[in-house]
Amino acid sequence: MSITITDGALLRLLQLSSASLPVGGYAFSQGLEFAIEAGWVRNLKETREWLSLQLHDSLAQVDCAILLRCLHALEKAGIAQLHYWNQYALACRETRELRLTDTATGSALIRLLRQLGIDPQIQTEEVSFVAAFAVAAHHWQIPEEAAALGLVWSWLENQVAAATKLVPLGQTLAQQLIGEIQHEVPAAIARARQLQDWELGAGLPALAIASARHETQYTRLFRS
């Protein structure tokens, strides 16, 4: 993947995909906390497999693919299409927790954009983080390939941070994990670009079960 990006857009991309962006993504483990307690994920290798599967069969199949469609809609001032893909993203969340993760971070990003004087474009009560991310990327003229990388990075960084606390992983193993998953990201984004509309969607039963069971987990560090 080769990306041409201006200095200004690159700096905005770093801002948008940073863990310090005040959207609260760090508060959610997206099922990982239960998976670790249940013994499904116990070490670096199993954490890598857990995240790799999500990257290819969920992030590529839903989030990245919908991000690209939201950006195309914004380029054409197709607000109706933007709303359609926002609802599509929310419909793909298989549990209440996964939907809450999406809407809580999405609404927080929309509030931030308003505070920065940016028109959020979306006039609906529930906003997917993917759609809000697209609005910011479009406003700051971030190329779509770079925006997709930033979206995946924000997910990966939060998940590895959760795994570092929960597995637990040391800081060195966490960086090793990030490096290993990074090699898979270009292929996942390339897959997202090839998908037809009717191919969008994901079905990860273990992730859905882990997310649903997390709600009643006896001890939790992360929000549900």
pLDDT in tens, 169-203: 999 999 999 999 999 999 999 999 999 999 999 99
- Amino acid type, 166: L
Spell out the residues 6+ positions from residue 199 whose beta carbon is closer than 8 angstroms to its own.
61
Q: Kindly report, residue by residue over 75-132, the tens digit of the pLDDT.
A: 998 899 999 999 999 999 999 999 999 999 999 999 999 999 999 999 888 999 999 9
- CA angle 106/11/77 to nearest 5° reads 50
Nearest to 67 by CA among 1, 134, 156: 134
> In the chain, pLDDT over 70 holds for what percent of residues?
100
DSSP 189-217: HHHHHH--GGG-----HHHHHHHHHHTT-
Q: Is the pTM of this model over 0.85?
A: yes
C-alpha of 61 from chain center: 12
Residue 126, class by beta-carbon neighbours within 10 Å (0-12 exposed, 13-18 middle, 19+ buried)? middle
Q: Kindly report, residue by residue over 8-42, the tens digit of the pLDDT.
A: 999 999 999 999 999 999 999 999 999 999 999 99
